[in-house]
């Protein structure tokens, strides 16, 4: 199958890299990354082009070699690995994932709106091609669009990309717009337990109250009402 059509955005093909595996068994995820060269003050366009060049650099040791399907700058997108092949961006997730590296030199650097747009256009095409639901997921066990930092794989390596500067709601809305598809609510995900905190019933109420709002917004009005009733009634317990 040919690569997704990116003719609506400026694309530079840089497909000379050999840093990938041929083929990919399954595709259930689009993983969003930030490049994070660490070069403070580096422009987005230089961050993008130097990342794409790095992915084709055979002088770096084999273990340090990385790649992604796309690298997204503010003026253009570099296509580095063919859709059908396995890029090296998220360890054990690679055989299931398309990887998109968004150029951001350091975690505090703002993304350019064009990067959100380019990434959303490409993600819309990948989701349509591989029948991936258009929703942000917080765990790789569910098909969707995931931030590297939200995956167990990424957490295991202390990843923080794409980070708080990435506007997820705007991004997902754009992906939906470009696909013309209906919104799919983000699935609730059980987080692995961390260290037990002191029990705080008010914190439990606050969390449930927030869940109620999410349920209502997600199209579950009766479920939201039930949670609201439970929280309200709990105030009489003590």
Q: How far is the CB of 140 from Zn ion (least distance, A)?
A: 13
One residue of 19, 33, 79, 125 binding Zn ion per CB under 5 A: 33
**Nearest distance from residue 18's CB to Zn ion, in Å?**
21
Q: Are 103 and 48 in contact (CB under 8 A)?
A: yes
Stretch that binds Zn ion, among 13-21, 71-79, 118-126, 160-168 (CB under 5 A): 160-168
Mask 97-136, x = binds Zn ion (CB under 5 A)? ----------------------------------------
**Is there binding between residue 69 and Zn ion (CB under 5 A)?**
no
**Site for Zn ion contains 148 (CB under 5 A):** yes
- Examine residue 76 and tell whether it contacts Zn ion (CB under 5 A): no
Query: Do 151 and 97 contact (CB within 8 A), yes or no?
Result: no
Q: Does 140 bind Zn ion (CB under 5 A)?
A: no
Strands (E), the chain: 11-13, 20-21, 29-34, 70-72, 77-79, 86-87, 97-102, 144-147
In the complex with Zn ion, the residue whose CB is nearer, 52 or 224, is: 52
DSSP secondary structure, 45-99, as one string? HHHHHHHHHHTT-TTS-GGG----SEEE-SS-EEE-S-TTSEESSSGGGGGGEEE
Q: How many residues bind Zn ion (CB under 5 A)?
A: 3
Query: How many of the other CB atoms lie within 10 Å of CB of 123?
Result: 25
Q: Are 138 and 186 in contact (CB under 8 A)?
A: yes
Are the C-beta atoms of 52 and 14 separated by less than 8 Å? yes
Stretch of 78-86, 117-125, 147-155, 181-189 contacting Zn ion, by CB under 5 A = 147-155
CA distance 28 to 189: 17
User: Which of the stretches 104-112, 120-128, 159-167, 222-230 binds Zn ion when contact is defined by CB under 5 A?
Assistant: 159-167
Residue ranges that bind Zn ion, judged by CB under 5 A: 33, 148, 161
């Amino acid at each position: 199958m040919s690569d997704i059509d990116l003719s609506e955005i400026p694309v530079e093909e840089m497909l000379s890299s050999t840093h990938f595996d041929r083929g990919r068994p399954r595709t259930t995820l689009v993983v969003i990354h930030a490049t994070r060269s660490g070069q403070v003050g580096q422009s987005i366009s230089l961050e993008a082009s130097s990342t794409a060049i790095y992915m084709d650099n055979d002088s770096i040791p084999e273990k340090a070699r990385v790649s992604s399907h796309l690298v997204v700058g503010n003026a253009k997108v570099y296509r580095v690995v063919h859709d059908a092949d396995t890029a090296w961006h998220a360890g054990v997730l690679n055989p299931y994932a398309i990887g998109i590296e968004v150029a951001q030199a350091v975690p505090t650097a703002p993304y350019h709106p064009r990067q959100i747009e380019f990434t959303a256009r490409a993600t819309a095409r990948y989701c349509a091609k591989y029948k991936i639901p258009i929703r942000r997921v917080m765990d790789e066990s569910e098909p969707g669009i995931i931030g590297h930092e939200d995956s167990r794989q990424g957490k295991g390596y202390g990843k923080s990309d794409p980070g708080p500067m990435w506007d997820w709601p705007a991004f997902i809305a754009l992906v939906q717009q470009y696909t013309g598809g209906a919104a799919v609510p983000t699935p609730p995900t059980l987080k692995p337990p961390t260290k037990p905190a002191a029990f705080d019933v008010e914190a439990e109420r606050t969390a449930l109250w927030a869940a109620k709002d999410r349920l209502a917004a997600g199209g579950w009005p009766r479920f939201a009402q039930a949670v609201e009733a439970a929280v309200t009634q709990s105030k009489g317990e003590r």
